[in-house]
Chain A
């Protein structure tokens, strides 16, 4: 019994001792838990709080409304319309294959698209959102929203997409927007800053030139989201700022009309206000539908555009280079008069051809024009006369005048694709071809052939500067009244002097002539070319009062006409399309109180008088009909004219 009691006490003591050790251990563990809590909740609190906020809050950038492009009358050329897009954040997607499978059952999402996205994914960071589909129908969009809880990492977005007028009349000026490429990001800091999926970038034309101004500032929408990415509540909304709207000087009505006239042809039509330099119409044919680019152009469509020999993507008004042909003659004539190498009364006999420097130079009229003075030579576009003028004048003096009138330089600043063209002279040939000037080349330069290359808009500016009395103007396509005001004031002063018969010129206008009479003479000669029998565009004249115009035809050869051809009298229409001459016409209207200059180029259109002048007649009629309306918008600027 004693021993039992002893063992009992021993045992109790043992248990108590061990319990004591255990208690010490427990204390230790409790302290370690407390210190862990201290570490997490106090030492590292800031880190975990920000992690918790990162969980909770998610920001969505809102694509700002892209600035609209309007025509002169406020009609929209490039507008925005609602579109339904689907975005994906790759790092939030647990399994891309599964997701794509699910998507293919909900929306139109074939394996082709899948492959394309997987390819694009490889180039992108995992946290950068990517647009999977940017042109869903409303039906697809609502289905996506219904199944959203099963599609982790997917985000349906209502966005705005670009919409262009579908006839494509302005496609070349406006250009188009398309998905921002890696290259675009590289070149633009703004795009890198914004960096959001679905942001479209202008790739061409005005869309490209004013891209950064038109984008605007993105808005921010901050949401509290749950673990599945579902938005629980909106916490903050910072409204974006929509992009700048640009008003152009274009008149959509004439623009569309001109585009129709060019249908089936390849070429360009430009119309310009001769005082303000406003580009009223600038079309290039054939054209394309810019809307196709907005959501990514299909390969077939792209191939069609690229392989078309008439080059629909090229803006021929600005980037098409053509020998000016006879349309250069007013410049050559002016240069001769200004440099006193010819007088207007001097006669030259045209026998159809002339032997000079061991070559035979032909006039377009085989039989010859007979005795020609300067006025009749311009009127009938006699080549022999201008060979003589060019010979006396020399290419260098000729090129000075041509350059003064804007040839060989860019006309509009807003287009990267615009070309400068070539006004050849002796120095130019030495620098660019590396050989000395040959005298024979002077002669063909005098009729706008040879190295001479101009763009349609340059010819249009040239004619505008003749028509306004020989003053330099600055062409523009974006309407900005503030910048225009000094120009208006200068012209107003000029008109006042003229009205009061003061033999003065506004000192704010830059004269391009030495003697005013020379310009008057040229304009009169051009009148003859259109409105008098024997004139090259006599058949295309308008006779109604106020519609009478004056212009110069041009036919630019793109091949050398051999003696053989001349003997066989091969006509243009017998030649294959790509060997036919370009038809050119440049005019101003109306003849009295002129307001507009027009240039038309029809590629391989035959002669200027038959290929281009008839179109000019239609366009001029339309432009003049629209003048009253246009003047209403300028009433405060131009009451006098």
Chain B
């Protein structure tokens, strides 16, 4: 059936395979394999639940990534609003009948998978904004009329996600949206103005924060304040990374994670585990792979013939970059612990799904670059 769909168009399947970005796929596969080893290590060298599950998810979503990349970009372009709308509905439904785990309502039971719509929102918002700004001439971008919809388009999901509460994802969604808006030429000074307003609103905002969120921010400012309480995670994470040294403690030798000193080692702190075992050199290699992925996505965007693809790729590259750096800064004690997974590496289906879908669209942009959008 898929074959029939492809054959109707002027690109045949073979052309598409030639145009497929093997380089990007190779880099993603590389990170995927590293992540499986890290997961294996997090389970003390036993292939158990997390490793099996992660392995399965990675390869099935990697397959999804390849399939999506063969979908016509025009299709994405046309269904951008619809896609956004679906995710938004899901996000609303989380609020209504989501699954509550460890104090926050983030997941929705779709019978075959517990989906975290906020993760998908990261991607769908970029597509939505890329689609929206595609038509708008650059001189109109700063006009008030054209800022309302983009503003609402990211404020609504951000608000919903904060309410879950999931500050980390909300911030990431907001940043992804803001980057795309900024890329289209929105004036810096408006950002500055709104930033100023935000600063003024902080005292008001703090009163809305949950106690544990306040504690996290205070802990970030001084983790040694409460070494066994809120500061524990960050202190142990720094100890793990710092004790890794240049070449690390060796695969399966990370004592901090092995002896359970490291919290959340499958998810947010997977980089800490990796860094403890493979040291500064290993971390540098991983960072380089991520940099190459981001660079590759940006290159695809730069070579795009239309601004939808360009804006999308740039936006996705920037978001990808933000995910990586926020997570790393967090575990290295440069940012408060807000709960942001490391793309591909961290355990978590929704995060993996959204990254793979995002990457698929990027490659689709490349494959179908010669074709007209409309």
A interface residues, Cβ below 8 angstroms from B: 7-8, 10-12, 14-16, 18-19, 22-23, 26, 29-30, 32-34, 36-38, 40-42, 44-45, 47-49, 51-53, 55-56, 94, 224-228, 232
Contacts and interface: CB of A to CB of B under 8 A. Distances in A.
Given A33-B328, A41-B283, A228-B260, A94 B228 contact: yes
11 contacts: A16-B302, A18-B183, A29-B321, A33-B287, A34-B287, A36-B329, A37-B287, A38-B280, A51-B242, A55-B255, A227-B261
Contacts of A47: 242
Given A11-B138, A37-B283, A49-B245, 15 more contacts: A14-B185, A15-B185, A19-B302, A22-B318, A26-B321, A36-B334, A37-B287, A41-B242, A41-B246, A41-B280, A45-B242, A47-B242, A51-B242, A52-B243, A232-B259
Contacts, number: 129
B250 to A, nearest CB: 14
B239 A48 contact: yes
Contacts of B307: 8, 11-12, 15
Nearest to B228: A94
B291 interface: yes
A11 B260 contact: no
B244 A33 contact: no
B180 to A, nearest CB: 10
A19 B183 contact: yes
B324 to A, nearest CB: 9
Nearest to A225: B259
A487 to B, nearest CB: 62
Given A7-B138, A15-B183, A15-B185, A30 B291 contact: yes
Contacts of A49: 242-243, 245
Contacts of A18: 182-183, 185
Contacts of B120: none
A350 B323 CA distance: 118
Contact of B241 (A11, A15, A48): A48
B364 interface: no
Contacts of B341: none
Q: Which 7 pairs from chain A and chain B are nearest by CB?
A: A48-B242, A52-B243, A226-B259, A227-B260, A41-B280, A40-B242, A11-B138
A40 B275 CA distance: 11
Interface string B49-80: 00000000000000000000000000000000
B337 interface: no
Interface string B292-329: 00100010011000010011001000100100010011
B90 to A, nearest CB: 30
A295 to B, nearest CB: 32
Contacts of B256: 52, 55
Contacts of B184: 11, 14-15
A56 B137 contact: no
A207 B252 CA distance: 52
Contacts of B333: 36
B323 to A, nearest CB: 12
A630 B245 CA distance: 70
Point out which of B243, B294, B311, B314 has the most chain A C-beta atoms below 10 A from its C-beta.
B243
Nearest to B263: A227
Point out which of A12, A30, A44, A52 has the most chain B C-beta atoms below 10 A from its C-beta.
A52
By secondary structure, the B interface counts as helix
B336 interface: no
Contacts of A22: 179, 183, 314, 318
B16 interface: no
Contacts of B298: 19, 23
A465 to B, nearest CB: 69
Nearest to B326: A29
B131 to A, nearest CB: 15
A219 B138 CA distance: 79
A52 B255 contact: yes
Contacts of A227: 236, 259-261
Contacts of B243: 45, 48-49, 51-53
Interface in B83-129: none
B368 to A, nearest CB: 18
B138 A55 contact: no
B32 interface: no
Interface string B239-271: 111111110000000011001110000000000
Contact of B240 (A32, A33, A52, A225): A52
A55 B240 CA distance: 10
Interface string B172-191: 00000001001111000000
A41 B275 contact: yes
Contacts of B216: none
Contacts of B183: 15, 18-19, 22
A18 B298 CA distance: 12
B332 A42 contact: no
B279 interface: yes
Contacts of A37: 241, 275, 280, 283-284, 287, 332
B259 A55 contact: yes
Contacts of B240: 52
B311 to A, nearest CB: 6
B310 A15 contact: yes
A10 B184 CA distance: 11
A173 B255 CA distance: 53
Contacts of B302: 16, 19
A66 to B, nearest CB: 35
Nearest to A48: B242
A48 B238 contact: yes
Given A51-B242, A52-B243, A14 B228 contact: no
